[in-house]
Structure 1
Amino acid sequence: MIKKKPDKLSLDTSSFRRLREEGYIYIDKTRWLYRMIEEGTAYFFSRPRRFGKSLTVSILHELFKGNRKLFNGLWIYDKWEFEKYPVVVFDFNEIPSSSPEKLESNLFFVVNKYLEDNDIKASKPKDVALIFKELLLNLYSKYNKKITILIDEYDKPIIDHLGLNEERLKIAEENRDILRNFFGVLKGQEVVNVVNFTFVTGVSRFAKVSIFSEWNNLIDITMNREYADFLGYTEEEIEKYFDDYLEIFCGGKGFDRKQCMEMIRYWYNGYRFSLESDKKVYSPISLMYCLKEGEFKNYWFKTATPTFLVNLLRQMDYYIPKLEDIKITENLLDAFDIKNIRIEPLLFQSGYLTIKAIEDDIIFLAYPNQEVKKSFSEILMQYLFETTPDTFYLAGKLGKALKQEDFEGIKIYIDSIFASIPYPLYGEKNKPNEAYFHTIIYLSLSLIGYNAKSELLTALGRLDMAIEFKNKVYIIEFKCNQNADKAIKQIKEKGYIDNWRGRGKKIILCGINFDTEKKGIGEINFR
C-alpha cells in the first residue's frame, strides 16, 4: 500500500486561507479563539516573533468574514455560526514607519483604502484618528453589523527604532504618540458601541501601557495560564500532527522516537509564558525547519537578528554570563517607558529568555533551549567583540582541549581567543577586567554547545564557572592581576566543589589569573 504524502510544512506563509487550501499542516488552535470571543470583546496578546501571531490574526479574519469551508474538520467548525462581519486589519509588518510622517501617512492610506473599498464617502478630516473613527461609524451604518478590528505587530513602529541612537529614539517616541492618538479612538463609547471584537498582538508588552493605557476593557492574556500553550507547539501536538515527518527525521538520524524527541526537546522546547502554569512549548518555525532540513541548527535566529537587543546590552555594559540566572519580580516583567527599558523583561518578551522557575515570588529567567543559547552567544560574540571566524575555530579547539584534559592546550587556546579580538576594542574605555575575560570565555563555550554555567550560587558565595561533561567537571575561579593559587584557594575555602561530590565525576579545579597588560592569561593552575 502506498503511504499518503504528508501535508506541507508552513515555513513561508501566515495566511490561514493558503494553509487550508494548499495542503499545509495546521495545528488546530481554534478552541482558544472560541473561548476568547465568548468571554470578552477586546484582547491584548504578545509572543516572540515567528510564534504564529500573524497566522492567528489571519484565522480571526476568516472567522469573522464567515468563511466556513476553511474550518471544516477543525474544533470550531460546528460551534461557530460563521456570520459575516466587517473586518478592519492593521498589519504593521506592511505599514512602513521609518519616520512619524511616514507612519501617519500610511495610516491615512490604510483607512482611505477601507473607505474606498466599501464605497463610503467620509468628510476625511486631517486628523488620522478622526478619519479612523469615521470609517468605523460608517461601516456600522452601512452594514448594520458591528466591526471586528485586528491589529498585528502593534509595536513594530517603536521597536524598529530602539537601541540605535538619540535620533531614532525620538522617532520611536513620536511613533508611539501617533499610535496612542490613533488607537485612542477605540476607547470612546461611540466607537465601543459599534465594535464587537478587537485583537491586538505584538512582541513586547512595554509599549502596551503607553499606547492603550486608557482602554479599560482591553484584556491582557499574555501570561494567562489558560493561554500558556495557545501559540507554540506542545509535545503532544508535535506527536499528533508531525508523526510522518518525525518518522522520516528519526530514521534518518538513526534514533528511536524517544531519543529523537529528547534531542528535539533539548534544541527547541522550553518556552514558558505563564507564572501559574508550567506548560512549555516549542518554537514552531525552528521545529518545522528542523524536520524539513533534517538537522539540528539555529533556525529561529536566521529569520531576524536581534540587533536592537544587542545594542541595548552594549549600552548598558551588561554582564552577559548573568543571562543564565536572572532573578526578577512579576511587576518588573510588565511594561516600561521607552526611555526606561529594563533589558531583562524585554529579553523575556522577545523570547530570548524564559521562565525557568518561581520561588517565593521570585522569577528565575534563563535561556529556553540550546538553539537560543548557542545562537545568542554567537551574535553577542560578533557584535560585542567583533570576532572573526578564527574565534569560532579557536573556541572549538578550546572545547576539545577541555574534553581531553589538555591543560597546556587550554591555556594556549584561551590566549588565542583573546588575541583574535580586534585591538581597538581595548583602550582606556574598554580596558579589560575580570568580567570582560569571563564573558568571552563563557560565550566561547556557549557557542560551541558546551555546558558552561556561570555565577553559580553556593552556601558561601558564587562560583565563577563550572563546565560539566559526562565524566568530569571543571570548577573554575577567575582573578585579575592577582594569582591563580588565590583562585584555587578560594574554590576550596568556599566549598565550591561540594555540589559535585558523590556524583561519580572527576573534579578538576582550575584557577585562572588574567593579566590586563598582556590581555590574556597571566597564570593558570589545575588541581
Structure 2
Amino acid sequence: EACTSIYREVFAILKADDKYEKFVFITGITKFTQISLFSVLNNLSNISFEPEYAAICGITKEEVMRDFKPEINKLAEYEGWTFDEAVAQLTAYYDGYHFSRRNMVDVFNPFSLINALADSDLKNYWASSGATSLLPKFVDDMEIRLKDFDNCALLSTIIETSDVTGGGPELFLYQSGYLTIKGYMNGTYLLGIPNFEVKQALNEIVLPTLAMRKSNDMQSTQAFLNLYLSVGNLPEAMKCLKALIADVPYSNKKLASMDMEERYRLIMSTIFNAIGCRVEVEKMIATCRIDMVVQTTNYIYVLELKLSNNGGIDAATEQIRAKQYIEPFKADKQKVVALAIELDEKGKGLVDWKEVD
C-alpha cells in the first residue's frame, strides 16, 4: 500500500507533464492492474509479451558471441575449457528466458551473465541478488511443490493481464523470474525453470525447511558433500549424505502423503541441486527409468534407491547390472559411477551403499 501511493504520485507527474516527454519506458518485476495506477496514467502500452521486444531486457546468444569473446576466452582458459564449452556452460547457467510466445528467442539473465564474465567464474549470482526474500509470502509449501513448478501451466488471460496480487504462486514465480515461458498451446502458457542458476537458488531456499534444520547447521556438511563428490571420494561423500538425510523423511510431517521412496528422492534431489550438481530424477533410458542421475564437473553418478524391505542394496545392485545403467553415459567425458543405495523403510535414513561395476 505504501509503495502504491508513491507510484501513483510519480505516474501522475508523468501524465501531467507529458508535453515534455518524448519517450517513457517503465519496467519492473510485477505488473499492477487492480490498484488504479493506470487510471492515473492510462496512455501506456503494455509491451511485455510483444514479439519485437522479446529480448529488450536481456542479452541474446548472438550478442554474447559477438560482444564478449575476450571474456569468454578468459573464462575458458581459467577453467580448462574450449571456447564452445565455456559458451555451453554459460548457456546452461544463465540463459533460457523467453518473453513472447511469438518469438521464443533465448535471453540470458544480464545481471548474472555480466558478473560471471567479469569474475571469470560461474557462480550463483541470482541467490545473492536479494531476489529470494519474497518467496515465502507468495508460495506455500514451496519445499514440497518445487518439482511441480518446473512443468506447470497458466491461462493466457491470467499471465498476460493479472497482477501479482491476483494470481497464484505460478504467476508470482513467473513475474519474478523463477519461471519462464517454455511453450504455448490453445490459450495456455507452459512454464518451467529457466536455467541451472535459478534451479540451484530455489533448492537452496527450500532445503533447510525440507530437512527441518537451520541453514547454518547444514552448510559445512553440504560443502564437504560437494567436495567429495567432485573428487570421487565416495566413502566420505556417503557419510555426508547420510548425515543430511538422517530422520528427515520420517520426521517431516509435510512428506507424509508421499510413499517412502518418493520422500527420499525429493530430499536427496534437493540436497544435490542445492550444492550445485545437475540432477535428473527418474531419468528414462532405453531399458528402464533410473531413480536419479547426479552430475558434477568430473563425475556422473547413477543412483538406484531401494528400501530395506524391498531388497535393499542387493536388489539395487542387480537392477543396475541387469538394466545396464552405465551404458547410455559411456560417451560422456565424465567418469560414470553407478551407486546402489539402501534406505530404511521407516524413514531413518541411509542404511548402506555400494559402488557397482
2:274 to 412, 423, 447: 447
Match status 1:326 vs 2:154: no
On the 8 A contact 2:30/2:176 being kept in 1, the answer is no
Aligned to 2:38: 183
On the 8 A contact 1:456/1:465 being kept in 2, the answer is yes
1:347 to 173, 176, 183: 173
1:521 to 342, 350, 353: 350
Match status 1:488 vs 2:351: no
CA 111–311 in structure 1, closer or farther in 2 if over 3 Å, else same: closer
Q: Spell out the pairing of 1:68-79 with structure 2 (5 A cutoff).
A: none
Deviation at 1:409, TM superposition (A): 3.8
What TM-score, normalized to structure 1?
Answer: 0.52
CA 485–314 in structure 1, closer or farther in 2 if over 3 Å, else same: farther
On the 8 A contact 2:156/2:189 being kept in 1, the answer is no
CA 498–472 in structure 1, closer or farther in 2 if over 3 Å, else same: closer
Give the 3-state SS of the residue equivalent to 1:262 in structure 2.
helix
Q: Spell out the pairing of 1:17-96 with structure 2 (5 A cutoff).
A: none
Match status 1:230 vs 2:25: no
Aligned to 1:20: none
Match status 1:376 vs 2:202: yes
Aligned to 2:129: 303
1:466 to 267, 277, 293: 293
Aligned to 1:103: 4
CA 261–477 in structure 1, closer or farther in 2 if over 3 Å, else same: same
User: Cα RMSD over matched residues?
Assistant: 4.7
Give the 3-state SS of the residue equivalent to 1:376 in structure 2.
helix
Deviation at 1:243, TM superposition (A): 4.8
Aligned length: 349
Q: Spell out the pairing of 1:95-134 with structure 2 (5 A cutoff).
A: 97-98=1-2, 103-104=4-5, 106=6, 109-110=9-10, 114=13
Deviations for 1:225-245, whole angstroms, at most 9, x for unmatched residues? Answer: 433322211133234444555
Give the 3-state SS of the residue equivalent to 1:464 in structure 2.
strand
Deviation at 1:289, TM superposition (A): 1.7
Deviations for 1:277-330, whole angstroms, at most 9, x for unmatched residues? Answer: 44212111112222333332222332213233245444366343445x515366
Match status 1:414 vs 2:238: no
Distance 1:461 1:404 in 2: 28
Distance 1:503 1:439 in 2: 28
CA 400–320 in structure 1, closer or farther in 2 if over 3 Å, else same: same
Q: Answer with 1 or 2: which has the greater Rg.
A: 1
Give the 3-state SS of the residue equivalent to 2:107 in structure 1.
coil
Deviations for 1:455-501, whole angstroms, at most 9, x for unmatched residues? Answer: 43568985432224666541323548755259638956995949827
What TM-score, normalized to structure 2?
Answer: 0.72
Aligned to 2:222: 395
Q: Which runs of 5+ in 1 are unaligned?
A: 1-96, 115-131, 159-175, 188-194, 201-220
Aligned to 1:86: none
Deviations for 1:73-110, whole angstroms, at most 9, x for unmatched residues? Answer: xxxxxxxxxxxxxxxxxxxxxxxx44xxx734x35644
On the 8 A contact 1:269/1:368 being kept in 2, the answer is yes
Distance 2:163 2:93 in 1: 34
CA 306–148 in structure 1, closer or farther in 2 if over 3 Å, else same: same
Deviations for 1:391-411, whole angstroms, at most 9, x for unmatched residues? Answer: 233234334555666554454
Distance 2:41 2:54 in 1: 27
On the 8 A contact 1:272/1:281 being kept in 2, the answer is yes
Aligned to 1:289: 115
CA 184–259 in structure 1, closer or farther in 2 if over 3 Å, else same: same
Aligned to 1:155: 30
CA 478–344 in structure 1, closer or farther in 2 if over 3 Å, else same: farther
Give the 3-state SS of the residue equivalent to 1:230 in structure 2.
coil
Give the 3-state SS of the residue equivalent to 1:465 in structure 2.
strand
Q: Spell out the pairing of 1:204-283 with structure 2 (5 A cutoff).
A: 221-243=47-69, 245-246=71-72, 257-283=83-109
Give the 3-state SS of the residue equivalent to 2:219 in structure 1.
helix
On the 8 A contact 1:354/1:366 being kept in 2, the answer is yes
Deviation at 1:453, TM superposition (A): 0.9
Deviation at 1:521, TM superposition (A): 2.0
On the 8 A contact 2:293/2:303 being kept in 1, the answer is yes
Distance 1:506 1:245 in 2: 31
CA 525–373 in structure 1, closer or farther in 2 if over 3 Å, else same: same
1:475 to 293, 303, 317: 303
User: Aligned residues: percent identity?
Assistant: 21
CA 238–440 in structure 1, closer or farther in 2 if over 3 Å, else same: same
Amino acid at match of 1:412: K
Aligned to 2:342: 512
Deviation at 1:370, TM superposition (A): 3.0
Amino acid at match of 2:343: N
Amino acid at match of 2:350: I
On the 8 A contact 1:391/1:420 being kept in 2, the answer is no
Aligned to 1:11: none
Distance 2:318 2:171 in 1: 34
